[in-house]
Amino acid sequence: MAASRDPGLETDDGSEGLVFHIQRYSIQDGPGIRTTVFLKGCPLRCKWCSNPESQDPLPEILFRSPQCQKSGTCAEVCEVGAIKLIDGAPSLDRSICTMCMECVEACPSGALEVSGRRMKLEDVVDEACRDELFYVNSGGGVTLSGGEPLSQPEFSRRFLQACRERSIHTALDTCGHASWQVMGRILEHTDLVLFDLKHLSPGKHLDGTGAKNDLILDNLRKTLASQSARVWIRIPLIPGYNDTTPHLKELALALRETGAEKVSLLGFHQWGRSKYLALGREYPYDGVDSLPKTTLELAKTVLGARGIAVTIDH
């Protein structure tokens, strides 16, 4: 009998959370060498998202068709008929899939994989802290990312607290879309906030992410005012969305008023495209070229000319 779908996300006491990836030796998610823990669930739906498998607060199956050997074993083991063979190639009906994972286990090529697994807090902490020596020697630590860590608030709070208790530097990568009550409690155990900022216009933010930015901007102001953690602002620069000179000038004035320590520009790329296809979803930025280095350098110049300390990250 097929198992029912996992309820997902964290347990009420935060003793377990839904993790979709743990990346060791990360050098882009804060200072030094780090381990980044990626959690499932996000309140935003950014059209350019490079990790669309992080958005849904439940486990998901990715089907990477180029890897498929067309053995048909996935269809054979599916008890509810969610997988049909069309010209020998499997087609997954996600509306009736029960996430029993039988097809994933039976797949001989790894074309089927699961994004999101329930993990115990202590196991995630132990995994994240394995490279403690590298953290000490490089000034690194652990970073909690997603998805959106604030979507699993108690697990995130307890995870960062446990790392802090081991004297390991902690960073929170967040879009800031949660209540201040939730965010404030997590910041108590955070050394550095990597605060993602997409657009200053409420309408443009809504169009690009599916949510307005009033709560995000309010939490950014409160985070900076609290002085509970260092703040680096990260801006994904998206072609035709927030890379225009007028918006960059407006952004520079707003950033200068915040007093944030550093601003990082992240250039748009097509890395998320294959994941959208593997999830059976349309990629909104299909056919849009990656942002050229010249555009990133121009944006850096515009912001830097107005007194903003800017770096370009990839």
pLDDT at 85 over 70: yes
Residue among 183, 179, 180, 131 at smallest CA distance from 160? 183
Per DSSP, which regions of the chain are E strands?
16-26, 34-39, 60-63, 83-86, 89-92, 112-115, 117-120, 141-145, 169-174, 192-196, 230-237, 262-267, 310-313
Residues 41 and 52 occupy one common structural domain: yes
Residues 35 and 159 occupy one common structural domain: yes
| Residue 71 in domain | yes
Q: Can you give the pLDDT at residue 1?
A: 35
Please state, in angstroms and rounded to a whole number, the distance separating the CA atoms of residues 89 and 75. 10
Residues 72 and 143 occupy one common structural domain: no
Residues 266 and 309 occupy one common structural domain: yes
Residues 293 and 201 occupy one common structural domain: yes
48 with 28: CB under 8 angstroms? no
Residues 244 and 167 occupy one common structural domain: yes
- Among 80, 115, 150, where does a domain finish? 115
Residues 199 and 78 occupy one common structural domain: no
pTM above 0.85, yes or no: yes
Q: Can you give the pLDDT at residue 59?
A: 93
283 with 238: CB under 8 angstroms? no
Residues 124 and 148 occupy one common structural domain: yes
Residues 126 and 73 occupy one common structural domain: no
| Residue 217 in domain | yes
Q: pLDDT tens digits for 174-227?
A: 999 999 999 999 999 999 999 999 999 999 999 999 999 999 999 999 999 998
- Among 115, 130, 147, where does a domain finish? 115
Size (the chain), residues: 314
pLDDT at 229 over 80: yes
Residues 172 and 307 occupy one common structural domain: yes
Rounded mean pLDDT of the chain? 93
pLDDT at 150 over 60: yes
Q: Where residue 4 falls among pLDDT bands split at 50, 70, 90?
A: very low
Q: Where residue 283 falls among pLDDT bands split at 50, 70, 90?
A: very high
Residues 220 and 257 occupy one common structural domain: yes
Q: What percent of the chain has pLDDT over 70?
A: 97
Q: Can you give the pLDDT at residue 8?
A: 63
Q: pLDDT tens digits for 300-311?
A: 999 988 888 899
User: Which of the pair, 35 or 3, is modelled with greater confidence?
Assistant: 35
Which residue range is the domain that position 140 belongs to?
16-58+116-313
Residues 95 and 193 occupy one common structural domain: no
Q: Can you give the pLDDT at residue 42?
A: 97
Please state, in angstroms and rounded to a whole number, the distance separating the CA atoms of residues 269 and 252. 23
Structure tokens at 248: 């960059």
- Among 115, 145, 161, where does a domain finish? 115
The domain total for the chain is 2
User: Which of the pair, 10 or 90, is modelled with greater confidence?
Assistant: 90
| Residue 123 in domain | yes
| Residue 268 in domain | yes
Q: Can you give the pLDDT at residue 259?
A: 78
